[in-house]
Amino acid sequence: MPEIWLRYGKVEIAVELKRERLEKVYDDPLSDREINQIEQELQPVKGLNEINLLVGDYESSTIEFLRFFTTFVQNTKIYAFATERILKYLRKNLKDTNIEFSRIENGKEPVAIVDGVQVKASQILSKRNLIIVSSIGFDPLFGFRGIPTTILEIVDEQIRYEAIKRENELIPRPGKETSSGWFLNRIVEELKELNGIGIVPGKNGFSKILYGKIDIVHKKSVEELLKCASKNVEKKISLVLVSPGEEDKCSSLNSALNSLWNTIYACEEGASIIILAEALEGLGSEALKKYVYTGFKLDNILGKTYIDGLENLYYLIQVSQKYDLGVVTTLPNTFIQKRLGLKSFQSGNAAINYLVDQAENRKRKISIIVRGDKTLLYS
């Protein structure tokens, strides 16, 4: 009976499954670090006296890159700017570096008109030697996370609302071209003279780096991610246990849901899908909190205003009608079962036992995804 170790928050948990019950284990798809490629790509910034970084996320790949970057340009003064939400993680994880951190000020000024919408952005964009830094990843609304979603962090809140309005059908589409993604990329085109660093995640933090104009960097980063992380399944999955694969992706229910969106298109309708979401930081979005505590009706909000995490809540409610969804979590059963209508499990083996029971009924085997946040499955 093989043991399979899966990331669950700060720890790893072992799940036991008889070999004859196991369909397939989807291991970490990411590549090892290519140090020669990284150093060559970063040569243009090595001679600068001062560098201003606009950091758009706190992914483990971004944290590891920033740590590497401080040694690569050790004679250069580095200033890193981010929103308060991101800044607290950067300060916590990079407190031993010589990076000087600053919060992005709230003031915004007009930068462009995109698809009839006035776009206002932070004055940080006018900083000398500014480089926008972001890791590439999958996003259910915009298709991909990266430099465009970093721009989203510093524009006015109306932009996310405007992006959602452009979706004819609001369904999760990670790794695909979406109307919301098109709108966001149009904003990037207006700012294309800015430079950026695209970080391609890897097995030990990050694998490659792309440097240059932000529109070109994002396009190349997407290509690199899809080459390693996009996987075609031989047949549709009916039973699966999914680990997000990183501590911060397991820290809330909202963050763990991205692993679900990356998996569902490889699953047959009615499939049992269980995700690991330790959720020590709770539900993780205002929309989930509001729904769990007040039970508001989505139709009263959707298309009229935007609440943080609204799209993930909408996807979850729609997808739960087509699939048998469960969560291994520390969140109260009241939240998961009664409010959200999902199954709740206290441990990985409890989840496996449930899937084994389902396997006996359906005469199917169980698949396991080790790094769901960076594995995009399709059929």
The CATH number of whichever domain residue 273 belongs to comes to 3.90.226.30
- Does residue 178 sit in the same domain as residue 316? no
CA distances from 145 to 22, 64, 107 (A): 32, 18, 24
Give the residue numbers spanning the domain of 289. 3-29+233-378
- Does residue 196 sit in the same domain as residue 130? yes
Residue 192's SS3 state is: coil
pLDDT of residue 1: 56
d(CA 273, CA 258) in angstroms, rounded, equals 13
Is-contact 3 20, C-beta < 8 A?
Answer: no
- Does residue 122 sit in the same domain as residue 19? no
Report how many domains make up the chain.
Answer: 2
Bridge-based pairing of strands 77-82 and 50-55 is parallel
Is-contact 292 283, C-beta < 8 A?
Answer: yes
Domain boundary, last residue among 228, 247, 271: 228
- Does residue 25 sit in the same domain as residue 143? no
Bridge-based pairing of strands 195-202 and 205-213 is antiparallel
Tens digit of pLDDT at every position of the chain (379 positions)? 578 999 998 888 898 888 889 999 999 999 999 999 999 999 999 888 899 999 999 999 999 999 999 999 988 999 999 999 999 999 999 999 999 999 998 788 898 899 999 999 898 998 888 999 999 999 999 999 999 999 998 988 789 889 999 998 999 999 999 999 999 999 999 998 999 999 999 998 999 999 999 999 999 999 999 999 999 998 999 999 999 998 889 999 999 999 999 999 999 999 999 999 999 999 999 999 999 998 878 877 777 788 899 999 999 999 999 999 999 999 999 999 999 999 999 999 999 999 999 988 777 899 999 999 999 999 8
For tokens 């990266």, the residue is: 146
Separate counts of helices (H) and strands (E) for the chain? 12, 20
pLDDT of residue 127: 86
Using alpha carbons, select from 182, 200, 239 the residue that is nearest to residue 354: 239
d(CA 136, CA 224) in angstroms, rounded, equals 9
Structure token digits, residue 280: 């020590």
- Does residue 14 sit in the same domain as residue 140? no
- Does residue 145 sit in the same domain as residue 245? no
CA distances from 283 to 84, 294, 297, 348 (A): 19, 14, 18, 19
Question: Per-residue b/e over 163-175, b at no fewer than 16 CB within 10 Å?
Answer: bbeebeebbbbbb
Domain boundary, last residue among 228, 246, 262: 228
- Does residue 162 sit in the same domain as residue 89? yes
- Does residue 80 sit in the same domain as residue 200? yes
Domain boundary, last residue among 196, 228, 260: 228
d(CA 356, CA 364) in angstroms, rounded, equals 9
Residue 149's SS3 state is: helix
CATH of the domain at 43: 3.40.50.11440
